[in-house]
Amino acid sequence: MGDLHAIRQFLASEGILMSFHGPFRHGILEELGRALRKHLESESTRKPDTTDVFSVYIEAAQNVANYANRHNGGDPAGARFQQGVVVIGRQGDHHIVQCGNFILPADGPALLARLDHLSGLDAAALKTLFKERIRADVEPGAPGAGLGLIRMARIASRPLGYAIVPGEDGLDFFSLTVIL
Amino acid sequence: MVNLTLHATASSPQVQADEKTGILVLSGESYPENSFDFYRPILSWVADFLERDRRSLTVEVRLTYLNTSSIKCMMDLLDAMEDAHQAGREVKLNWYYDQENDRALDLAEEFKEDLTLPFTIVPVPSEG
């Protein structure tokens, strides 16, 4: 382990309010969410802003948990998929939520294509797409509606930041940055 | 036909569906681990109620937060109500939101935009 004082200095200098690295299980995400809200309330964030930060956190984290659940079926890398990282910070007037997880390299191109598509849409187009997808059929067995990224793009004050880099054990690492 | 009662958890709302009065109340948080599994019995209850007789249905939404898959399930619920309304049934939706939280208002208004059923948006004073 590194020097704790150095870690603290890094967290403080980056404006990090909360960070978590570990299994993205539902019960843990609930507890982290509760802590995040309390933390935001204590720094007297306006209610709509607290809702926005919480929304981005929940959508990003549940995407990771859902992805891990889909890959749990006998895959030796199943546990690895559940190990995500989420960091919530503040820089000036902006809250920033970053979330990352391991993915199968085969899943990368489709994910990047979706994000590239979203980054080209303005607020009106994102709203239209969100409304279309709300009423679209969900594939059987899907845990989510595929709406999370669209909601995050609507909340964000800048285009979503994203990257896929080579990870470990033949997996890639996906990271998402949302500036509110 | 039976009543439906679900107790609230940290991430799922309390649900109270009363067959006698035709009132369904959802209150609390809504970001369950699997929204589709959570909302399935609620959607079934509403479908059964609307099929069974001609009495009016009132839905009261008192949700502080909905994740996107809950929003999708809510849309399914409201579309079922809208269909009933178009078919001449008496249905009513009362949507309560924290008056200090305009994000919650935005969500209610986006739902309302696409519906013609009686849909009342009610501001509620913040709790502390």
CATH number at residue B78: 3.30.750.24
What is the per-residue pLDDT across A33-79, written as a single tens digit (0 to 9) for each?
999 999 998 887 788 899 999 999 999 999 999 999 888 755 655 68
Cα A8 to chain centroid, rounded: 23
Task: Look up residue A152 and give its two tokens.
Answer: 């995050």
> Which residue in A has a C-alpha nearest to residue B101's C-alpha?
A48
Which range marks the domain in which residue B33 is found? 4-124
Which range marks the domain in which residue A14 is found? 4-179
Is B103 close to A135, i.e. CB distance below 8 A? no
**In this predicted structure, what is the pLDDT of residue B64?**
93
Q: What is the pTM of this model?
A: 0.93
Is B75 close to A135, i.e. CB distance below 8 A? yes
Q: How many domains does the structure of chain B reveal?
A: 1
- Residues of B in Cβ contact (< 8 Å) with A147: 68-69, 71-72
User: In the predicted model, what is the mean pLDDT of residues B30-54?
Assistant: 94
Q: Above 90 in pLDDT, residue A141?
A: no
Confidence of residue B82 (pLDDT cuts 50, 70, 90): very high
Distance CA A46, CA B125 (A): 15
Q: Above 80 in pLDDT, residue A2?
A: no
Is B67 close to A34, i.e. CB distance below 8 A? no
* Location of structure tokens 């902006």: A94
Q: Above 80 in pLDDT, residue B76?
A: yes
Q: Tell me the residues of B at the A interface, defined by beta carbons under 8 Å apart.
A: 10-11, 31, 33-36, 65, 67-69, 71-72, 75, 79, 98, 100-104, 110, 114, 126
Q: How many domains does the structure of chain A reveal?
A: 1
**In this predicted structure, what is the pLDDT of residue A46?**
86
Q: How far is CA A133 from CA A98, A125, A146, A147, in A?
A: 24, 12, 8, 7
The beta strands (E) that lie in B2-128 are given as 4-6, 14-18, 23-30, 57-66, 91-98, 119-124
